[in-house]
Amino acid sequence: MHSPEKIIIASRESQLAMWQAHFIQNRLLELYPQTEITILGMTTKGDQILDVSLSKIGGKGLFIKELEQALEDGRADIAVHSMKDVPMNMPPGFMLAAITEREDPCDAFVSNNYASLEELPAGSIVGTSSLRRESQVRARFPHLQVRPLRGNVQTRLRKLDEEEYSAIILAAAGLKRLELAYRIRSLLTPELSLPAVGQGALGIECREDRPELVQWLAPLHHAATAHCVEAERAMSRVLGGSCQVPLGGFAEISEDVLTLRGFVATPDGTKMIADKLHGKPEGRELIGQQLAQNLKSQGADEILAALEFHHD
């Protein structure tokens, strides 16, 4: 297989997105030292609208559309995304060419004065941008207040430092990638805060009519991570997963057994349906679909119907 002459990577311009693009660029340069690999930085709609919570302005696709347009136009060959930002159904003509090995999938508790959620006094304000985190905090710590928190990682940390919040919750992976792990006071175990579908993994997207890119990217693809993420996404797809739905999904593989955990909740955390399912990694799509059906039959369908009604 000949090495490519040139690869252009489309990326959002946030510091974290650029770190991710450079990470993929460096991995590719190790594989193909003769190849010219450049990054095309772009500002997406999700980066521009910062005063409204994601769930109110259209959700996951906001960070991706402009990047896909660059792939469509031939201005870029691949786009790098956080898997948790990738919509559950890829638009026609696009595909995920590779999913990288997962960084820490957990949520991180960040605070200047407290070591954990358990330590926060009643009435403390916790900042988070996601309904998933909000519903879990409200369910387990009803004495705390949860307020929206938008902006990039640095902006969120600044808002914490300016004492707008007692604590904030961020993805551990993003903090570690930006060398901000020292800000993490404690990691929230999946039992305490089940991660978002795909959290910690990167996805590399390309057009479906570029099979050569899939070959070139194959060494970056991490099968075990991909199997877990595919199970999570299969579950989320059946549940209509988007930023408007408080749901989490997390799969792990141990000794050739895939364990998938999932939950759906009301945004206020008063009702939460959680369950898990085991199976062979080869059956990952079915495991995801079956767990979603189990959650629905236990009452998740009522929560989803109410959310759907609320947004219509």
Using an 8 Å Cβ cutoff, are 258 and 281 in contact? yes
The encoded tokens of residue 92 equal 């026609």
Q: What angle do CA 27, 73, 200 make, to 5 degrees?
A: 35
Catalytic residue flag (residue 275): no
For residue 266, what are the contacts with CB-CB under 8 A and spacing of at least 6? 135, 246, 272, 303, 306, 307
Scan for tokens 């062979």, then name that residue: 280
Given the residues 77, 85, 104, 107, the one annotated as active site: 85
Q: What letter does residue 228 receive in the DSSP assignment?
A: H
Sheet hosting strand 6-12, strand order edge to edge: 36-42, 6-12, 78-82, 202-207, 94-99
Distance CA 42, CA 275 (A): 39
Q: In what order do the strands lie in the sheet with 186-188?
A: 145-148, 125-128, 167-171, 107-110, 186-188
CA atoms of 273 and 153, how far apart (whole Å): 30
Give catalytic residues, as residue numbers.
Answer: 85
